[in-house]
Amino acid sequence: MSGNKRFQGKIINWNDDKGFGFVEPNGGGERAFVHIKAFRPRAHRPVNGELIIYELVRGKDNRYKAENIKFVSAAKKSHKVRSQSTESKIPAMFALLFCVVLLLTVLIGKLPALILGLYIVMSLIAFIAYAMDKSAAQQGRWRTKESTLHLMGLLGGWPGALFAQKKLRHKSSKQEFKTVYWITVFVNIAVLGWLCTSDGQVILNNMMR
CATH number for the domain spanning 27: value is 2.40.50.140
Residues 114 and 202 in one domain: yes
- C-alpha to C-alpha distance for 36 and 2, rounded to whole angstroms: 22
Output the pLDDT for position 206. Answer: 81
| Rounded to 5°, angle at Cα 157 from 170 and 94 | 80
Determine, yes or no, domain membership for 94.
no
Residues 42 and 114 in one domain: no
Residues 117 and 201 in one domain: yes
Determine, yes or no, domain membership for 13.
yes
Determine, yes or no, domain membership for 59.
yes
Rg (CA), the chain: 28
| Enclosing domain of residue 12 | 6-74
What phi, psi does 64 have (nearest 5°)? -85, 145
- What's the length of the chain? 209
Taken in order 193, 197, 200, 202, is the CA torsion positive or negative? Answer: positive
- pLDDT tens column, 68-117: 888 887 766 655 656 555 557 889 899 999 999 999 999 998 899 999 99
Output the pLDDT for position 126. Answer: 97
Reduce the DSSP state of residue 60 to 3 states and report it. Answer: coil
Residues 63 and 116 in one domain: no
pTM: 0.59
Determine, yes or no, domain membership for 93.
no
Output the pLDDT for position 27. Answer: 77
Q: In this structure, what DSSP letter does residue 61 have?
A: T
As a dihedral over the C-alpha atoms of residue 42, residue 45, residue 49, residue 50, rounded to 10 degrees, the angle is -30
Residues 61 and 135 in one domain: no
One-letter amino acid for residue 168 of the chain: L
One-letter amino acid for residue 144 of the chain: T
Determine, yes or no, domain membership for 63.
yes
Determine, yes or no, domain membership for 1.
no
Question: For the chain, which ranges sit under pLDDT 70?
Answer: 1-4, 43, 75-87, 209
One-letter amino acid for residue 59 of the chain: G
Q: Where are the beta strands (DSSP E) in 116-186?
A: none
Q: How many domains does the chain have?
A: 2
Determine, yes or no, domain membership for 113.
yes
